[in-house]
């Protein structure tokens, strides 16, 4: 019993600690890429080429005072960032990094992740409500309405994957995509893939769907009243969610840890020698870059247009393509 507990704890630490580091350096990466896309060079003063920037930022945030507004609901105000972070990290329990590298090999893994990403919205809602500020409340309302709408489209996109893979276990889903880049689900499920990605951007409240923050309209949305470490927690949750949804996109549509050269004469056996984690991380990085690339490119949606896109475009597209997927599975094309 004790052994098992310790083993699980060890696995959790092996996953969670690097995740924190990745979040820290994702922020630096984002600032660098945004800078490059705006024809400047981004932070480069702390350490060699700005490599120490996340550490400096972290120390700064930790040293700052935590201000709790007098009019706020004190306990909910403190609870909210915790509620935002916990689901973002818990969901990693079922993510497989390689064929047998997973903390918990759960059969309903997709459902678990879906539940956890939905829970994140409560942290944001509570933050907006407990702050007792008009901007925070507006931001939280926008965020929750948006997350709820896009969750449906995202859920339907996942249904297509479940149909095609005939399993809700993430390991099985990846294994059913084996056989090279043309066997991954992104090609037969292309519309679902695109819908999933748009919903993923909306779910994490990233530009162009950053209605919850909307700094030019509602200052900073749900986290206007937060400072110091508590703000850092929201930041952490947002970036951990970004990485989570990128990883999920890779697992469900881009063959997870499988090498893209599988089945190609010389490259195939050669790439099989490289551990699967490498391919997984490489693909996840591509999606994270896409997140930042989209942020640098697109202007923020108007709120009613976000709703229009979610309900009137994405959901019908997924419904149609689920039907098509079902037919493809029925007639053995997939």
Residue of 4, 39, 63, 333 interacting with other proteins (CB under 8 A): 39
Q: Does residue 40 interact with other proteins by CB under 8 A?
A: yes
Q: How far is the CB of 138 from other proteins (least distance, A)?
A: 27
Q: Does residue 37 interact with other proteins by CB under 8 A?
A: yes
Structure token digits, residue 304: 């009613």
The Cα 125–Cα 134 span in angstroms is 13
Q: Does residue 41 interact with other proteins by CB under 8 A?
A: yes
Q: How far is the CB of 51 from other proteins (least distance, A)?
A: 17
The Cα 150–Cα 205 span in angstroms is 11
| Inter-CA distances, 263 with 100, 266, 272, Å | 22, 9, 10
141 contact partners, CB below 8 Å, separation of at least 6? 128
Residue of 51, 277, 297, 308 interacting with other proteins (CB under 8 A): 297
By the 8 A CB rule, do 285 and 275 touch?
no
Q: How far is the CB of 303 from other proteins (least distance, A)?
A: 19
Residue of 33, 95, 121, 130 interacting with other proteins (CB under 8 A): 33
By the 8 A CB rule, do 291 and 201 touch?
yes
Nearer to other proteins (CB atom), residue 8 or residue 38: 38
Q: Does residue 36 interact with other proteins by CB under 8 A?
A: yes
| Inter-CA distances, 1 with 8, 25, 100, 103, Å | 11, 37, 21, 16
Structure token digits, residue 133: 């500020």
Residue of 182, 278, 293, 323 interacting with other proteins (CB under 8 A): 293
> Which residues in the 95-114 window bind other proteins by CB under 8 A?
none
Nearer to other proteins (CB atom), residue 94 or residue 306: 306
Gap between the terminal Cα atoms of the chain: 43
Q: Does residue 38 interact with other proteins by CB under 8 A?
A: yes
Q: Tell me the H-state helices in 166-189.
A: 170-175
Q: Does residue 294 interact with other proteins by CB under 8 A?
A: yes
Give the interface segment with other proteins, choosing from 97-105, 123-131, 266-274, 293-301 (CB under 8 A). Answer: 293-301
- H or E element, residue 178: none
Residue of 296, 307, 326, 329 interacting with other proteins (CB under 8 A): 296
Count of Cβ atoms closer than 10 Å to residue 185 Cβ: 24
Give the interface segment with other proteins, choosing from 55-63, 78-86, 212-220, 296-304 (CB under 8 A). Answer: 296-304
By the 8 A CB rule, do 34 and 24 touch?
no
Residue of 194, 220, 264, 324 interacting with other proteins (CB under 8 A): 194
Q: Does residue 298 interact with other proteins by CB under 8 A?
A: yes
CA 329 remoteness from chain centre: 28
**Radius of gyration for the chain, computed over Cα atoms and rounded to the nearest angstrom:** 20
Give me the 229-268 binding string for other proteins, x by CB under 8 A, dash otherwise. Answer: ----------------------------------------
Cβ-based burial of 302 (10 A; exposed 0-12, middle 13-18, buried ≥19): exposed
Nearer to other proteins (CB atom), residue 155 or residue 208: 208
Total binding residues toward other proteins, as defined by CB under 8 A: 13
Residues near other proteins (CB under 8 A) are 33, 36-41, 194, 293-294, 296-298
């Amino acid at each position: 019993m004790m052994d098992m507990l310790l083993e699980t704890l060890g696995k959790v630490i092996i996953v969670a600690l690097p995740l924190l580091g990745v979040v820290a350096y994702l922020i630096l990466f984002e600032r660098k890429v945004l800078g490059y896309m705006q024809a400047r060079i981004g932070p480069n003063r702390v350490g060699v080429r700005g490599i120490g920037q996340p550490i400096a930022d972290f120390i700064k945030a930790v040293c700052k005072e935590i201000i709790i507004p007098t009019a706020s609901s004190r306990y909910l105000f403190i609870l909210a960032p915790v509620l935002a972070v916990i689901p973002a990290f818990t969901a990693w329990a079922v993510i497989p990094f390689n064929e047998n590298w997973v903390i918990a090999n759960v059969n309903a893994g997709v459902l678990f992740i879906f539940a956890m990403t939905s829970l994140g919205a409560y942290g944001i809602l509570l933050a907006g409500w407990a702050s007792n500020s008009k901007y925070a409340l507006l931001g939280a309302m926008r965020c929750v309405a948006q997350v709820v709408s896009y969750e449906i489209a995202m859920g339907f996109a996942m249904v297509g994957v479940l149909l095609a893979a005939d399993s809700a276990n993430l390991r099985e889903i990846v294994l059913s995509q084996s056989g090279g880049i043309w066997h991954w689900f992104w090609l037969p499920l292309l519309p679902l893939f695109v819908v999933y990605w748009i919903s993923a951007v909306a779910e994490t409240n990233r530009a162009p769907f950053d209605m919850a923050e909307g700094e030019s309209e509602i200052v900073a949305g749900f986290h206007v009243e937060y400072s110091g470490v508590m703000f850092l927690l929201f930041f952490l949750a947002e970036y951990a969610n970004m990485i989570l949804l990128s990883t999920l996109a890779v697992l469900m549509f881009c063959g997870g840890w499988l090498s893209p050269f599988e089945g190609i004469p010389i490259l195939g056996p050669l790439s099989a020698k490289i551990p699967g984690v490498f391919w997984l991380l490489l693909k996840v990085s591509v999606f994270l870059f896409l997140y930042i690339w989209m942020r640098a490119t697109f202007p923020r949606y108007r709120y009613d247009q976000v709703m229009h896109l979610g309900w009137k475009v994405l959901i019908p597209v997924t419904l149609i393509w689920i039907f098509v997927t079902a037919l493809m599975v029925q007639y053995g094309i997939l």
